[in-house]
Chains A and B, each alone.
Chain A
Amino acid sequence: MAPPAPAPESLHPAPGQAAGPEPAATTATPPVAAATRSGPPVVLYTVFGFLCMGVALWLVFAWTGYKDRYSQHSEGWHLGATKMIEITLVRDDKKNLACASDRSFAGTHCGFHANIVPWGPGPDRDVNTLQPFNTVRNELFLASGLWFAQVLRDPLPSSRFTVVCNYHVTGVLKNVSLRWSPTGSFTPVDQSVAVGTLTDCVIPQ
């Protein structure tokens, strides 16, 4: 089957040409788009363009040192270390978050014993009460002292926000149960969780 002659590409015909049905609408010949056998090797062009784009982007990212600006800072989780961490919060977390365990670390302890009996007056009145938190990188840890930071005594926003604090790692707790809402139940976690204290908190601007 011989293909019909190629139709020239009409990008912008003169204004007068535009009106009325186009020839293709009235012909019985199978219309043939753009280029036929003499058309551009589209697949080869697109493959070549893709490779060029990849190399160009790689050069730009490498030249600007882009990777280093966004390198991960996930080290520093060891006993005795002080680590700067960004914690994600809502203002009700003071009441929402709680842990249950019989262990204590240098005076700090969970808000509940392992049998879910309250231990101490709670995190907003006791600087030694531990609560579970997550960093913005979704790393779980237990900490006390957050709500005594000056910046968290001011009126807090109604939406989710973050605070950046110094976290001093004082221990590691296994077999701890966590609760994420005041009416929720305590669920045991199957991992070791860092325990420590938070100081010098600020809301990043």
Chain B
Amino acid sequence: MSATVATLAGGIKSWMTRGLADRARQLRLTWQTMSFAERMASVFLAAMVVGGVVLRIQDLAWPTWFTFDEEPFVKNAHSYPLAIADNNDHPPLGKMLIAVGMLVFGYNSLGWRFIPLLFGLQSICLAYWLGRVLFDSRRAGFMAAAFMAADGFFISYSRSGLLDGMMISFMLWGMVAALAARTWRGVLAAGVLIGLSTSIKWSGAMTAIPAAVGILILRRVSIFSVLWLGVVPVVHTLIWMGALRLTGKPSDPVATWRVIIGLYKHHLDLGHYKNDLCSPWYGWPILMHPVVIKASTSGLKSRYSSSVGNLVLWATTDLLLVAIPVTTLVIALRTRFRRYWLAILDRQTMRGVWLMLLGWFAFMAPWLATRSTRGNYTFSHYYLPCYAFLLVLLAGLMAKLERRYPWLVTSYLGLALAMAIFFAPVWGEFSLTSSAANLRLWFPAWRP
């Protein structure tokens, strides 16, 4: 522990003194060696990151009342400091974290949205690290951060007191820790982070699949280290026991297990419920029914935070979702095409791409598997972790392609930025007339 603290302190001291100057010089040199197209692309990416941060923070606390699913989460979060039992149907950690924000700022809209905002901003940083570690490229990291920053799906969840944004953040953290692990301790850290993700929403446990495969294929640590991911259910159970103890309920392992099993059965039974905001799994990649997470009207104008994604990024990732497996199949059958493919994308990039596709599938699998009991009682935000993996995949490919086709990639990034600017008013709750909002929310199913 003390060695860890010393490493961190040393790293920070070095970063604060020598590192900053070195980094500035390195950045200047990098900028000087860039072509004009690459400089343009860098400016676009920086604008996406800065714009994404501003859109997440500005007017966060509006509206001052509950929107979408905030009410059950916030009221149960409020229960923890008061030692009242949580009756929500998700694990306790997300609500305990929301409660921290309310302890700092009080029982108001800033209080219950502060921690989700913090995790939403952290997700941008984590997307950078995941792209960088996975594709061995800072440029890929920069692109992943920019894509996540300039997408309404992630912006809307960063601006509301909901659980999904926090779950995604721990998911990304777990992936980064797993891929950057050099010793068993790194894998253990990944397991703990995935356990935290699972303790917000159970679907977070699916992170263990791409994390384990990533550890095995990168081979930076002993393959047996992957067993440390077994800590995920332990972390989950311990957090749940702590939450039960905090609220004065029986918290021994048997009682905790009963609570977990009861909730599991309740989830399987949700297929009987009806909700206008439901959408089936096959509707998520095609934006069949993205939810307007926050909607408020004042006078003749309305303010929306829609979860419609950045359509340029969304369409590209959908295309890749189909194109990559098909191309791989063609190459497997007709090996003579392989050299053309490898001329564009090397093996390491493709390994990263396939790992991200595995992450996409891992998070889709539970909804395919439980379709017989859950029916269509599923929501578009279940696609949030899948889309995060696709954006990192896209970043890795774009960073690679930029070396060969800089103008093509720059044009693409310019288009993605333009789309983000066009949709920013309905992502960041700008005050709009209904006609201006409908100009962006094209279909009735996209509107509140």
Contact = CB atoms under 8 A, between A and B. Distances in A.
A153 interface: no
B404 interface: yes
A185 interface: no
Contact of B109 (A58, A70, A163): A70
A137 B109 CA distance: 12
B11 A41 contact: yes
Contacts of A31: 347-348, 351
A184 interface: no
Contacts of B138: 9, 11
A48 B122 CA distance: 11
Nearest to A22: B346
Interface stretch (A32-40, A141-149, A167-175): A32-40
A103 B418 CA distance: 59
Contacts of B25: none
A61 interface: yes
Contacts of A49: 122, 125
Contacts of B434: 157, 159-160
Contacts of A42: 129, 133, 176-177, 180
B298 A57 contact: no
B189 A43 contact: yes
A107 interface: no
B300 A157 contact: yes
Interface string A126-151: 00000000001110000000000000
A162 B7 contact: no
A70 B351 CA distance: 48
Contacts, number: 165
B300 A203 contact: yes
B168 interface: no
A151 B302 CA distance: 19
Interface string A69-92: 111100000000000001010000
A67 B182 CA distance: 43
A86 B118 contact: no
Task: Output the residue of A88, A159, A163 with the most chain B CB within 10 A.
Answer: A159
Most buried by A among B125, B177, B348: B348
Contacts of A30: 218-219
A46 B173 contact: yes
Contacts of A9: 136-138
Q: Chain A contact residues (Cβ within 8 angstroms of B): what range?
A: 35 or more
Interface string A10-38: 11111100111110110000111110110
- Chain B interface helix/strand/loop/mixed: helix
B286 interface: no
A138 B125 CA distance: 37
Contacts of B176: 42-43, 46
A47 to B, nearest CB: 8
B403 interface: yes
B186 interface: yes
A153 to B, nearest CB: 16
B137 A11 contact: yes
B137 A43 contact: no
Best-surrounded residue of B57, B104, B180, B404 (most CB of chain A within 10 A)? B180
Contacts of A67: 61, 105-106, 108, 110-111
Nearest to B129: A42
A46 B129 contact: yes
B46 to A, nearest CB: 15
Contact of A12 (B33, B57, B342): B33
A44 B4 contact: yes
B8 A41 contact: yes
Q: Which interface residue of B30, B118, B193, B339 has the most chain A CB atoms within 10 A?
A: B118
Interface of B: 4, 7-8, 11-12, 30, 33-35, 38, 57, 61-66, 104-106, 108-111, 114, 117-118, 121-122, 125-126, 129, 132-139, 173, 176-177, 179-180, 182, 186, 189, 193, 218-220, 222, 296-300, 302, 339, 342-343, 346-348, 351, 403-404, 434
19 contacts: A11-B137, A12-B38, A12-B403, A15-B35, A19-B343, A19-B404, A24-B346, A24-B348, A41-B8, A44-B8, A46-B122, A57-B117, A69-B61, A70-B62, A72-B109, A137-B65, A157-B300, A163-B299, A203-B299
Closest 5 CB pairs of A and B: A204-B299, A70-B61, A18-B403, A33-B136, A159-B434
